[in-house]
Chain A
Amino acid sequence: MKKIRAKRDLKESLQIYGMLAPNLFLFLLLSVYPIIWTFRFMFYSYGGLGTGAPVFIGFENFKRLFTNDPVFWRSVTNTFIYAAGKIGLVIPLAFFSALMLNQKTLKGAGFLRATLFLPTIMSSAVMALVFYLMFNVYNGEVNKYIMKLGLSELPINWLGQDYAMLTVIIIGIWGGLGNYMIYFLAGLQGISEETYESANLDGVNWWQRIWYITLPMLGPILKMILMLSIVIAFQDMSTVMVLTEGGPVNATMIMFLYAYQFFFPIAPGSMIVTQFGYGAAVSVVAAGIVGIVTVIYLVLARKLDDLY
């Protein structure tokens, strides 16, 4: 009897592993191998394919990164500014949009949902070009309206050194709003109507409903949304790459774009030489920073759980 069961278990296991095999193979090839590759080459001086054999240099790449690369540290600061700006605005906006669209009495809610979600499925690189046309200082539509409304006498240099980061954040919010709104909407629809009805009987006002019922009941989904938004904001790159190439003069240079250009120089005729070894070290440190931020967030989130 035991033998038969063991045989059946083995058969089942083989079936499971057989079904998992294609996924595991792709996971190993496309995720694990590049990570091992990155971890290996961060200790090498290696210019890329065809530039000679990699030379082991120990921690030299990290020494350069931590002691002699102000551009990287500027990119770290820029990444934090971008992430804080984007998350700080997109999450409340997405929440209130979801709240509004969750009203059963709202006419055209479906259309509004689709409209707000549309940016999520559009190519950010293509949209960056459209935003360039809208925000450019010499004939952009944004300045035209601002001046027409009397908000500014002179055109604002949206893509100049002073405002480029703000513009990139605005575009980031535009691209992420619909996605987070859908998550919030899913969470809101999971809150039972009876809870609100009993609160109404107790005479709570709109704000109290939000603060004491909606937000606590959205807790688990809010935690997931915040974590996703942190990771996504820290990795956002394509919009910046197309819109500003990290400029003007590194004003919008962010961590992963900085790492990327050591593998694929982004500007035509760029004098940044391909440095796969150094780029790997930059990638690992950048990923480490994202990891630390995520851990801090998870710890804080748990403490908030304990608190409430």
Chain B
Amino acid sequence: MKKVLSVLLAGALAMSTLAGCGSTQSSTPSSGGSAQSTGGDNAEKTTLVLWTRDRADASFIQPWIDKYNETNKDGIFIDYQMYTDNFEQALDMAYSTNSGPDLVGVSGMTDIFTKYVNQGQYVEIDQYLTDEQRARYKSLVSNGIDAIDGKLYYIPVFGSTGRLFYNEGIFEKCGIKEPPKTMAELTQTAKIITDKLKGEGVYGFAMNLKSPSSALQRSIDFIVQRSGGSKQGYDFGKGAYDFSMYEEAVKEFRTIFTTGIAFPGCESLDIDPLRTQFAAGKIGMYISWSHADPGVYASQFPTNEKWNVAQLPTIDGKVYSQSIQPYKGYMITKTCKAPEKAWKACNDLFYSDDFVKAYHEAGLGSVMVDDLKSQVQAPEILKGKENGLLGATDKFWPATPQELNSQAVIVEGNDQYTDLAGMILGTGDIKAGLTALTDRYNAALKKGIQEGKGKELKIANWDPANPNG
């Protein structure tokens, strides 16, 4: 009897652990969204609920929305709501219960576009565009980024990509004339700084490796693309995954991180603590997003250090192109009861020339609308730091099979970034590790294709310098 009781007790405890796991719920939206007429001050107005992942730029956007709400003559009121963590889970819940918002903001990550557009959650906006607008935004239409099968769902008026941020004062102290152009030069430059200034607590290079995906998406992925390689490991020329091009970049990073060149503790460093140390003049170089970091040193972590922005180094110095991440754009959901008004709000506010110019000039994003590029002034915080803006080698790249449908490439074991971080930190043989990674990703893609979730994307005459042909 005692035995039975023991087993039952153990079973109950195990069940309690299961219950804890299975019953974890994602955060639910504070208020469900749907276009509706509201009373009180907003009587006769149509409320459009907007969900975004806005963070650093929220203080810029809020006054624009407030002004629009006060002045528009179309009876529109935008209810601006911000999410940080669990944004995707909140959308999952909302969409599965038909209680989604009216508008969803895209900020950097396109996963919330591809995932839900495949479910039919968004309204295509071609129907609202004038011929003039179609021509204006033609260069911004990219399959898997803002369009699917030629249908456009939002306009990515801003873009962002990876850049090297460096401390000019430290460079001057060490007699370094210019930022590195190759990966070997990056290692060498970092070593010079560390060797010379380590005694003062200054190191040549840092990376936020606490979250390998966050660190390596903004750095090594762009370096490999820029060197003529694959996008997140996917080679459009071969129509398959191939991580071999990562070898040289991983080798150089491994040298930096295993020979005492790097800032100590990068394995557990988040991006904000890294930025604080850069602002304190303790880090010579690091890689981050072009749209995010300039603003950080103006408001979040003000600094007296003389810093600048450079293009990312490549493996051998030859430059092809690197992909642009769309930054900003607003999608109308299928549950929106007034899609025409939602489009009107987007068109009159978020896609308006005034807003786009002001946002760009505030240094929050780099404008991508062709005719506006010549009309905007360089942001004050990027004066003399023009590499912080998008340039000629920043281009839209096609979406990978995984970007088109994350469920199409379910990799067993570590994801690429955890494995790459391991190699960078000195685990295992790099060549063998990259071959194994290639094999695992191709096996996952093959399985996804067999299950009908993904498809091979092979582009004839693929040219990484002109990824959109």
Contact = CB atoms under 8 A, between A and B. Distances in A.
**Is chain B found bound to chain A in the same assembly?**
yes
Interface of A: 30-31, 33-35, 37-38, 47-52, 64, 68-71, 132, 136-138, 155, 157, 159-161, 164, 227, 231, 234-235, 243-245, 247-250, 256, 259-260, 263-264, 267-275, 280, 283-284, 286-288, 290-292, 294-295, 298-299, 302
Nearest to A301: B6
Interface in B196-251: 201, 209-214, 217, 232
Contacts of A231: 13, 16-17
B114 to A, nearest CB: 12
Contact of B264 (A68, A138, A161, A269): A138
Given A155-B264, A247-B211, 19 more contacts: A31-B16, A31-B23, A38-B22, A50-B119, A138-B264, A138-B282, A249-B422, A259-B21, A264-B86, A268-B211, A270-B211, A270-B415, A271-B415, A273-B410, A275-B410, A284-B18, A287-B15, A287-B17, A295-B6
B255 interface: no
B109 interface: yes
A234 B21 contact: no
A305 B102 CA distance: 65
A26 B11 CA distance: 20
Given A38-B18, A50-B119, A69 B413 contact: yes
A268 B213 contact: yes
Contacts of A284: 18
A294 B9 contact: yes
Contacts of A275: 410
Interface string B412-423: 111111100110
Interface string B268-280: 1100010001000
B22 A50 contact: no
Interface string B425-469: 101000000000000000000000000010000000000000000
Q: What are the 4 A-B residue pairs with the smallest beta carbon separation, nearest first? A: A291-B14, A34-B22, A159-B268, A137-B265
Contacts of A31: 15-16, 19, 23
A169 B216 CA distance: 29
B273 A136 contact: yes
Given A30-B19, A291-B11, A157 B209 contact: no
B109 A269 contact: yes
Contact of A49 (B22, B95, B232): B95
A34 B217 contact: no
B93 interface: yes
A137 B6 contact: no
Contacts of B209: 247-248
Contacts of A294: 9-10, 13-14
Contacts of B265: 136-138, 157, 159-160
14 contacts: A35-B18, A47-B410, A49-B96, A50-B116, A52-B407, A138-B277, A159-B268, A231-B16, A248-B268, A256-B17, A267-B214, A269-B109, A269-B217, A286-B21
Contacts of B115: 50-51
A273 B24 CA distance: 17
Given A35-B19, A49-B96, A269 B210 contact: no
A132 B19 CA distance: 30
Contact of B92 (A37, A50, A256): A50
A135 B373 CA distance: 46
A270 B211 CA distance: 8
B21 A38 contact: yes
A228 B307 CA distance: 53
Give the most central of A49, A283, A284: most B CB within 10 Å: A49
B255 to A, nearest CB: 17
A231 B409 CA distance: 35
Given A49-B96, A50-B116, A283-B21, A269 B214 contact: yes
Contacts of B15: 31, 35, 287
Given A136-B265, A164-B268, A267-B213, A249 B418 contact: yes
A169 to B, nearest CB: 16
B133 to A, nearest CB: 30
B20 interface: yes
Contacts of B415: 270-272
A273 B7 CA distance: 36
B397 to A, nearest CB: 17
B189 interface: no
A48 B116 CA distance: 12
A181 B6 CA distance: 26
B73 interface: no
B67 to A, nearest CB: 31
A35 B417 contact: no
Given A35-B15, A37-B22, A247 B267 contact: yes
A288 B422 CA distance: 30
Contact of A161 (B201, B210, B267, B453): B267
